[in-house]
Structure 1
Amino acid sequence: MQGSSFSSSDVAHLTDRRPSVTPERLVAQLVPPPTFADVSFDTYRPDPAEPTQAAAVEACRRFCAQALERRAGKKKLFGKREVLPGVGIYLDGGFGVGKTHLLASSYYEVGGDDVKRAFATFGELTQLAGVFGFVECIDLLADYALVCIDEFELDDPGNTTLISRLLSALVEKGVSVAATSNTLPEQLGEGRFAAQDFLREINTLAAMFTTVRIEGPDYRHRGLPPAPEPLSDDEVAQRAADVPGATLDDFDALCAHLATMHPSRYLTLIEGVSEVFLTGVHPLDDQNVALRLVSLTDRLYDAGIPVVASGAKLDTVFSDEMLAGGFRKKYLRATSRLLALTAAGQTGRAIT
């Protein structure tokens, strides 16, 4: 391309990357993503038309104060303290109402040099337990004041039992838990597996939390145009060649590559990437492929990495059949985030 110091052959490919994640890296990743690195309760802007948003801020502030009180414990004789069980808050609401903003704000509000806390997606938390082992994971987090879990979801019976036992043990040890989700605690697992067979675990989880409902429209779509018209393959390749730090991949090749690694590695996969360019995007018919794309989309959104694509519009990737199934809310969240990512890729607008 004339005037460019890059050629298409210079562009890197995600499919060439083989990331690995050490246990130490998993622990180091237990912080809010870059797009929420500077948030606070004061920077949250409640919609005046949605009073539940301002109420959620106050509920989170109270929760943080309680979490610190519980971690400090109750004074006993001779200066000793009795550990008090942790508390839980569950932020339930639609897409783009600021749940993750409030979750990250809670993380920072409880923070301090001598206060341990963790921030993880639900998938990262289950991966942490898998890598360290159940008992070791409890030992690792037992002296934390707060564990924040973004997009709490139960996709299979094993995760239901694991997370129920893990959080129960942590709460008993004085760890408070804050979570976000698009599904009420007592409805976790519905439509995904035989949830009625795991009602005890689900009810145990529900009993840990005070649910705070947040209403409102998706802020990511305020003022945004519809999904942009896709570029041609050649246009995508040419634009990728002009962006230092960009990657260029065929959609099917990337989807196949994602299948070769655990989703916990996706964050490392996109590390240092400035913009993702995709060619040949098309609707998916395999749910396993679709769920891996959801995980990658979440990591791209958290890192604020724009996406530019050719082929089908990115808001058509998940079929009507998929949107009617048990993972509907996951696919809708991913679509919402893909719209924001592609709008940023087309206009240069920052992802917020």
Structure 2
Amino acid sequence: MAPEAQRQALRLVDRSPSITGAEIVAELVPPPQFEHASFESYRPDLNFPSQLEAVERLNSFAQAWRSQRPSGFFSRTRKPKDDLPGIYLDGGFGVGKTHLLAALWHTAPGPKYFGTFIEYTALVGALGYANTVKQLRGARLICIDEFELDDPGDTMVMTRLLGELVATGTRVAATSNTPPNSLGEGRFAAVDFLREIQAMSANFETVRIDGLDYRRRDTAGNAVAVPDESLRHMVGTLLERGSRVTDDGFGALIRHLGTVHPSKYIKMIQAVDVIALTDVFLLTDQTDALRLVAFIDRVYDAEIPIIASGLPLGEVFDAEMMAGGYRKKYLRAQSRMVALTTGELPPHAD
């Protein structure tokens, strides 16, 4: 391949991937940054004792795998905490819920699965309900990060799926997002979660994790935008280093995200080292904004740095969105975009 061809930037808008059920199952593991997550590596904020208490409760939950006592999921009487087959981590974004969920997954014996709510519902869409149950049956642990409460239909499907799985001994651990019109920054998340999962609620122990967003503990909390000419120079330098860089206009990317199911966003960013976005602007359409949130979640999981020009990415959601029912999702996305965009030349990926 000619040197000039090697230095050509890629474009996300040229990627319209498909995804199979087998590929989804293969991805049901913790994201790369949590590949080695453990209870010992969790860094609690000592100003919030509930973080250490959460580690203790999850360790206790993990002890059940050493016991042979069965625990039916739909028993008529509530079980003691240590016997409950489900545990729900309740707290704001950035307090380490995903780290602890991944640490629990690493502690559990296999077979086991770890994925977002979107990944599990996409699996049902790809395989069908009966084949999804067959695929996941026998799992010792199912971890569900970002359990979505916005869509009653999807929630009912997941409730039914989990009910069938845990009836045969599978244990479940979950975190969730706050549903529409709940502005409590996580305070109401547990109540909403337990209400939505209905028949299973009495079998979940809720573990509250208080604290501040760890991504903002030691930073000013700004997503940096760079001038267009600086962005062009950075892209050129990265390409000369051999980095795999995508270069897209922000508006074009937002339009393209509307043509790709969110479960496929992970494949859009495969084999990408750095994402460059030009002419970032304020979003006023909530559908576009929620697609960006889902996309940023996958970029954050893949630890791909972003360089961007125009409006700082942390400011793309308008005031009406930030005051509305999806406020918590936008705040989480803002936090992640702050972590991903520094305005400095990202290091070359090995």
Q: TM-score, normalised by structure 2?
A: 0.86
Shift of 1:97: 0.7
Equivalence for 1:307: 306
Q: Select which of 221, 227, 233 maps to 2:228.
A: 233
Using the alignment, how far apart are the partners of 1:176 and 1:96 within structure 2?
25
Residue 187 of structure 2 is matched in structure 1 by: none
Aligned to 1:253: 252
Unaligned runs of 5+ in 1: 75-81, 193-197
How far apart in 2 are the matches of 1:308 and 1:236?
A: 7
Q: 1:53 to 1:191 in 2, by over 3 A?
A: closer
Distance 1:203 1:284 in 2: 35
Please report how far the alpha carbon of residue 181 of structure 1 lies from its aligned counterpart in structure 2 after TM superposition: 2.5
**How much does 1:224 deviate?**
1.3
CA 1:161–1:182 in 2, change beyond 3 Å: closer, same or farther? closer
Q: Amino acid of the residue matched to residue 315 of structure 1? A: G
Asked if residue 151 in structure 1 is aligned to residue 132 in structure 2, the reply is no
1:48–1:234: structure 2 CA closer, same or farther, 3 Å change rule?
same
Deviation of the 1:9 alpha carbon: 7.1
What CA deviation, in whole Å up to 9, does each residue of 1:158-202 have, x standing for no partner? 11211121112222121111011254xxxx56559xxxxx99754
Following superposition, the deviation at residue 246 of structure 1 comes to: 1.1
Post-superposition CA distance 1:184-242 (Å, at most 9, x none): xxxx56559xxxxx997543343332110101111101221341442122321221122
Q: Which residue pairs with 1:90 in the alignment?
A: 88
Amino acid at match of 2:9: V
- Structure 2: 5+ residue runs without aligned partners? 74-83, 184-192
> In 2, are the aligned partners of 1:14 and 1:247 still within 8 Å (CA)?
yes
Q: Secondary structure at the match of 1:118?
A: strand
CA distance in 1, matches of 2:177, 2:180: 12
Name the structure 2 match of 1:212.
Answer: 207
Range with greater deviation from structure 2 (21-30 or 319-328): 319-328
Q: Is the 8 A contact 1:8 1:237 kept in 2?
A: no
Q: For residue 218 of structure 1, what is the amino acid of its counterpart? A: D
Alpha-carbon separation, structure 2, partners of 1:250 and 1:316: 17
Rounded to whole Å, the distance in 1 between the matches of 2:195 and 2:205 is 18
Letter of the 1:181 partner, please give it: S
- Of 28, 31, 39 in structure 1, the residue corresponding to residue 29 of structure 2 is 31
2:17–2:268 contact (8 Å) kept in structure 1: yes
The CA distance in 2 between the partners of 1:83 and 1:223, in whole Å, is: 43
The 4+ residue runs of structure 1 with deviation greater than 6 A are 5-9
Greater Cα offset, 227-236 or 331-340: 227-236
Q: What amino acid is aligned across from residue 154 of structure 2 in structure 1?
A: N
Q: Report which stretch shifted further, 35-44 or 224-233.
A: 224-233
Shift in CA distance, 6/332, structure 1 to aligned 2, threshold 3 Å? farther
- In the TM superposition, residue 107 of structure 1 has moved relative to its aligned partner by 0.5
Cα distance in 1 for residues equivalent to 2:202 and 2:316:
37
AA aligned opposite 1:139? K
For residues 6 and 309 of structure 2, the distance between their equivalents in structure 1, rounded to whole angstroms, comes to: 16
Report how many residues are paired: 324
Distance 1:189 1:318, change over 3 A: closer
- SS where residue 284 of structure 1 aligns? coil
Q: Residue 79 of structure 1 corresponds to which residue in structure 2?
A: none
Taking a change above 3 Å as real, the CA distance of residues 146 and 237 of structure 1, as seen in their structure-2 partners, is: same
Say whether the 8 Å CA contact 1:7–1:241 is kept in structure 2: no
Match of 1:294 in 2: 293
The residue aligned with 2:263 is 264
C-alpha RMSD over aligned residues: 2.5
Match among 131, 135, 140 for residue 135 of structure 2: 140
Provide closer, same or farther for how the CA distance between residues 189 and 231 of structure 1 changes in structure 2, counting only shifts above 3 A: closer
The aligned residue for residue 64 of structure 1 is 62
| Residues 83, 173 of structure 1: 8 Å contact kept | no
Among all aligned residue pairs of Structure 1 and Structure 2, give the percentage whose two residues are the same amino acid. Answer: 47
Which residue among 107, 115, 121 is the counterpart of 1:109?
Answer: 107
TM-score, structure 1 as length reference: 0.85
Give the whole-Å Cα distance in 1 for the aligned partners of 2:96 and 2:8: 38
